[in-house]
Amino acid sequence: MLAAALLALTLQAPAQTALLEVERKTIEIYREALPAVVNVSNLKVARNFFQGEVEVPQGAGSGFVWDSQGHIVTNFHVVQGGNSFVITFHNDPKKYAATLVGAEPKKDTAVLKLKEMPKTLQPIKVGTSKQLAVGQMTFAIGSPFGLEHSLTTGIVSAIGRKIDGIGGVKIHDMIQTDASINMGNSGGPLLDSAGALIGMNTMIFSTSGSSAGLGFAVPVDTVKMIVPQLIQHGKIIRPGLGVSILPDHMRERMQTDVKEGAIIAYVETNSPAGRAGLSGFSQDRATGRVYLGDVLLAINNKPVSSLDEIYHVLESYKIGESVRLRVWREGKTREVLVKLQAL
């Protein structure tokens, strides 16, 4: 018996010692992060002829534990349209109900709150995305196609990408990675070689619908800016001008000679822009003729030509700060000073 046991140990030893250092590190990163990674199920109330109102699965994705209070961070598109949400943890058969605390569609970010806490709750190790370098290793954990807690690895392929988000504006500073990201990975963590969160896996570019080595993650520094506000206020409180901008397709139909700047379509009366005397375009009901109002050319000398650019310029300012607008009207350019307010 003793000889057989020693033989078995001898046979197992090479398999353990044969692991490369990078393999041991990958295993360590996965095991340490695993308790903080969750599956998110999105349920919607539907009417059934025989049963009345029933909850039906609408979608699923991934997420991660943010703090010891039971806040779960995931993508907005994972929870969009849901009435209730179910969270599951690794090696825990229980399903935990959660409620939506707040969401920021423009950054594809949402926060859920557990109604009941598991016995142990391990928050994700939060890092930074400020000093990411192309070529450094990445580790993505999630549930692609429902295959729970899968690990994929890769590198940072690019940084500073501007990608169209679900909220109607581009998400800036996105992290591009070739770590395989598929349906179900959305909302899961992207980690660095220290096992720290550097991004939230969000979308892929693919012609087939599956991973083609072009995955994108919202940088963790953006997540760190958004999540505390969602927890405290349920929404993002940001500064604004109080204007709506004419979409590109309508701009083309108007056949205006103005080629630069953002055409203001509407100005709210008690907004910073309204108090500064700015106006949108108007239409003569009798003739149908459209009269161009103001065109916003720049904010503090930063040129803008779309709602997306206005949004991202103002993102760097705080409520109560003043900015100088360069505006074109009827062939003349003028500058006005406005004080930003919460919108």
Contact 204, 182 (CB under 8 A): yes
pLDDT tops 80 at residue 218: yes
Catalytic residue flag (residue 186): yes
Task: Say what percent of the chain tops pLDDT 70.
Answer: 87
Whole-angstrom distance, CA of residue 255 vs CA of residue 252:
5
Whole-angstrom distance, CA of residue 130 vs CA of residue 123:
21
Catalytic residue flag (residue 248): no
Q: Where are the domains of the chain?
A: 137-233, 239-342
pLDDT tops 50 at residue 213: yes
What pLDDT score was predicted for residue 210?
60
pLDDT in tens, 239-293: 989 999 888 777 766 656 677 899 999 999 889 999 989 998 877 777 777 778 8
Choosing from 62, 71, 108, 271, which is the catalytic residue? 108
Choosing from 129, 143, 186, 305, which is the catalytic residue? 186
Catalytic residue flag (residue 244): no
Phi, psi of 78 (to 5 degrees): -75, -35
Q: The whole model's pTM is what? A: 0.80
What pLDDT score was predicted for residue 166?
82
Find all residues with CB under 8 Å of 8, minimum gap 6, and list them.
none
Whole-angstrom distance, CA of residue 122 vs CA of residue 64:
9
Q: Which CATH homologous superfamily contains domain 137-233?
A: Trypsin-like serine proteases (2.40.10.10)
More confident residue, 236 or 115: 115
pLDDT in tens, 21-36: 999 999 999 999 999 9
State the pLDDT confidence band at 182, using cuts at 50, 70 and 90.
confident
Choosing from 41, 62, 71, 77, which is the catalytic residue? 77
What pLDDT score was predicted for residue 137?
97
- Answer left, alpha or beta for residue 320, where phi above 0 means left and psi between -120 and 50 means alpha: left
Least confident among 61-75, 151-165, 276-290: 276-290
State the pLDDT confidence band at 298, using cuts at 50, 70 and 90.
very high
What pLDDT score was predicted for residue 101?
97
CATH number of 239-342: 2.30.42.10
Best mean pLDDT range from 15-19, 26-30, 163-167, 311-315: 26-30
Whole-angstrom distance, CA of residue 208 vs CA of residue 6:
52
State the pLDDT confidence band at 59, using cuts at 50, 70 and 90.
confident
